[in-house]
Structures are given as structure tokens and as C-alpha cells.
Structure 1
């Protein structure tokens, strides 16, 4: 079983729904809003917003995630469209002024190839928003990672389900890239068989000021920066960087 097939199977165990994240997303929502969930995974937050009356489309590059999201929506009788799409192609796919809210969380946007591509995508999302629309992006606070030389993130250990998720960082200053090394270990119900899958991908360690400047350049008129979905003030030691901006 490949890494992403295994991860999709246990995605909702590893990345459990966070109440503060849901509350943060709902703050921008009005009933009937059209919402785009970029890098939606298995649709956890798409479903949460759909429950509150949003018209949601969820997109993800990984087909196994999308199939799982579709199955969850069908079981719960949620009218959500889940599509396998690349986040760089969404303006061409949906057109301008199509959504009231676009959000891309889970440290997803830094999976793009370079900072220039991230800047283009943020500009695309600006153009895809309706007037007064909201864009929300969340990533790891890479200012903290680089400043403190952090080489791994906290272990995710779901003892009851027998799942561990290990995450390590290797920063290359010369290339301005991070090699993100992950391992998922599964041992369900005390089984003798343990599943281990490894993966390595390249991330773009986007800094807070770089992100802010991209939002300004895109044309956003109100930009708020937080250190987490609890709306704590951002500082160098914040674990996350959350940007919420209005068109």
C-alpha cells in the first residue's frame, strides 16, 4: 500500500477535526455562501460548512482523498461537490468572482513548486472571490522553524487507534527549501503486523512578511494575521501562521 493510500485510510485519525478551526471558518460564513475548500483532504471542513448552509466545493490533488470525501458526503447525505484538481488550475476551472469564501489550510499551499507560484495562486484566488469575499490560508510558522533550527514537528500518536505520524524537517538555506520527511506507522488492535510507509516531499518555507506582501500585491484590502485558529496574536514563536483577508 502506498504512503498516500495508507494516509487517506487513516487521515481522519491523524488529522482530527479541530473545534477552533471550525469556529474560525464559520466566522466568515453566511448561509448560502459559495465556498471553495482547496486541498480538502477527506472533506472534514467542507462537511462542517455544508452543515451550516454553505454551498461547498472541495478540491484535492490526491484521488484517494477525493474518493473518501465523496463517500463521507454520500453517507451523510451532504450536497458537496468533491473534485480532483490541482490548486494552480482553479481560476481556469471556476472563473472569476465565483466564491464568497476560499480557504486553503493544513500547510497545503507550501507544497507548490516555488514562491512565484504561490504568489500567482493567491492572486488567482483574489480574482475568484466575489466582492467582499474572504480568503483564508494557514501554514506552519516557518519564521519559527528557520530561526530556531527546528527539525521535527510534535509526534502525532493516536494510541487508541494504533496510529503514529512522524514528521521531520531538513532545511536547505541555499535552495530555500525544506525536505519534509514523514512516516506513518499503523498497528491496529495489537496486531502482529505493523504497516510503515515513508514519504519525502519538498516544501517552500514561506515567511510571514512574504505571505503578507503577496496578499497586498494581490489587492486584498483588509488582511489579518494570527498565530493560530484561536486568533492568538502572531509572534515568532507561534506554531502556525493564519492569514484571513477580504477582497
Structure 2
């Protein structure tokens, strides 16, 4: 099987991931998650696409039992270091959000800041991608469990790109997907590249994906990282936040 382009991307991005501007409002985001999921001390929380563990660690500090999964072992190594420094017992597991299986069920789940959802391989079908992730999360939840999810706002993507981008194969308007070739220095200090595909979504698409995956969509908001709110989605909002409940 061909190596995942996203796995390779995060392998070389893990070192500086926490320098991204969207990682700077974690304390507020933890409080937001607690409120929206109505978390109780001792609840089991699944963090899908946990990355370097900023939400996992923040939730564990509040007394919740957290399991984080991520495709990238390099990102998880960073997460484990954070947890160890704070003497927190968090299960960090290397797994693909599309086909993971865990030996316990969870009260609630989060999948935030493009940790997994919308990060497609070049030949991957976008519908199968979304349904696979949501069904796996659904299977991991207890009845009535809630999911807090952010996805890239497809309306913004459409407004950002032009017909030239379509002709140059940088943007696919049918599936609201961007295709980007990124350079990086590999282990031998040689210049290499990955080709990554990222999908934006509309609220209508998300309602369908939830319906196909055993969820009921409860709320839609603007959900730009670092500025989460419960306000009506704007056209140029970076992300859409959705709260859903397992049926």
C-alpha cells in the first residue's frame, strides 16, 4: 500500500506544529468543549486526530479519562511528552481515524482543527472518507454520546479560489477540494515533497454524512480555531463547528 501523504506531512511537521497560531487558545477551547459536551468528572473522552495532544492534555487536567488517536507517531510522541511532564495518564494510540477499533466505549468524542476529517489521500473518495470516520466514532460511543467536530468551511474555499486554480488542478469545485504540493527536508536533508488534498464542507453535506453514519446533527456554528463561538456561520468563516449526537 502506498504511504499516506498526510502521514508523511505530519512526520515532518510535528516539530513545529505547536507554533501554529490556531494552537494558542487552548484553555478557552477546553472550557467550550466541557460546556458543549456537558462533561462530568470521570467521563471517557475520545480525541480523534489528537495531534500533539493539546486538547487531550487539557481535558485530562480537568479530571476526564482521555484516549487520543492520531495517524502520526511523531505527533503522538510530542503528546506523550506533554502528558508525562504533567504526570497525566492518557492513552495515546497510533491509529487511522477511518478504521480504528478500541477496546472500550466512550462518553463523548471530539475531532477538531482538521485532525483527521477532510484530510484526504489523492485518490480517496470524499464520501467514503467522511462516512468511514464518522461510523468509527459512532461505534466507539455509548448511546447518546456526543461528538464535537470542526471541518473546513467549503463556502470560504469556493470564494478563495479562481477558474485559473481549477485549470491548474489546484482546486476541484465539484468536491470542494484543494490539491497542494509541499516541499520539505527529509531525513537525509534532501528536498522532497508531498501532495496533499484537503476538503471543505457545507452544512448540507455534513447533515447527510451524519445521517449516513448514525448521528443526528444538533448544532452548526462558525468554528474558526482560536475564535470558537456559538454564532451563525459566516461565509468567510474558516471552519464550521458541528455538535452531533449518536442516535
- Whether the TM-score (by the shorter chain) exceeds 0.5 is yes
What is the deviation of 1:214?
Answer: 1.4
Structure 2 residue aligned with 1:118: 130
Structure 1 residue aligned with 2:85: 75
What is the deviation of 1:25?
Answer: 1.2
Task: Answer whether contact 2:158 2:173 (CA < 8 A) is retained.
Answer: no
Select the residue among 93, 105, 108 that pairs with 1:101: 108
- Taking structure 1 as reference, are residues 131 and 4 closer, same or farther at Cα in structure 2, changes over 3 Å only? closer
TM-score, normalised on structure 1? Answer: 0.77
Q: Provide the rounded CA distance (Å) in 1 between the counterparts of 2:129 and 2:139.
A: 15
- Give the length in aligned residue pairs: 217
What is the SS of the residue equivalent to 1:202?
Answer: strand
What is the deviation of 1:220?
Answer: 2.7
Q: Provide the rounded CA distance (Å) in 1 between the counterparts of 2:181 and 2:175.
A: 17
Instruction: Give the alignment of 1:1-247 within 5 angstroms.
Output: 4-14=10-20, 15-18=22-25, 19-27=27-35, 28=37, 29-90=39-100, 92-94=101-103, 98-107=105-114, 108-112=116-120, 113=124, 114-149=126-161, 170-173=170-173, 177-181=177-181, 199-221=194-216, 223-228=218-223, 229-247=228-246
Q: Provide the rounded CA distance (Å) in 2 between the counterparts of 1:231 and 1:183.
A: 37
TM-score, normalised on structure 2? Answer: 0.77
For structure 1, the residue ranges without an aligned partner over 5 or more in a row are: 152-168, 186-195
Task: Answer whether contact 1:61 1:87 (CA < 8 A) is retained.
Answer: yes
Structure 2 residue aligned with 1:154: none
Deviations along 1:161-210, one digit per CA (max 9) or x if unpaired, are xxxxxxxx93123565311455789xxxxxxxxxx986431123332210
RMSD of aligned C-alpha atoms? 2.8
What is the deviation of 1:238?
Answer: 2.1
What is the deviation of 1:223?
Answer: 1.4
What is the deviation of 1:149?
Answer: 2.5
Task: Answer whether contact 1:21 1:230 (CA < 8 A) is retained.
Answer: no
For structure 2, the residue ranges without an aligned partner over 5 or more in a row are: 1-7, 164-168, 186-190
Task: Answer whether contact 1:115 1:206 (CA < 8 A) is retained.
Answer: no
Q: Provide the rounded CA distance (Å) in 2 between the counterparts of 1:60 and 1:104.
A: 10
Deviations along 1:26-57, one digit per CA (max 9) or x if unpaired, are 21121111011111111000000001111001
- Taking structure 1 as reference, are residues 145 and 100 closer, same or farther at Cα in structure 2, changes over 3 Å only? same
Deviations along 1:85-118, one digit per CA (max 9) or x if unpaired, are 110122x3346xx011111111230014322221
- Taking structure 1 as reference, are residues 239 and 184 closer, same or farther at Cα in structure 2, changes over 3 Å only? farther
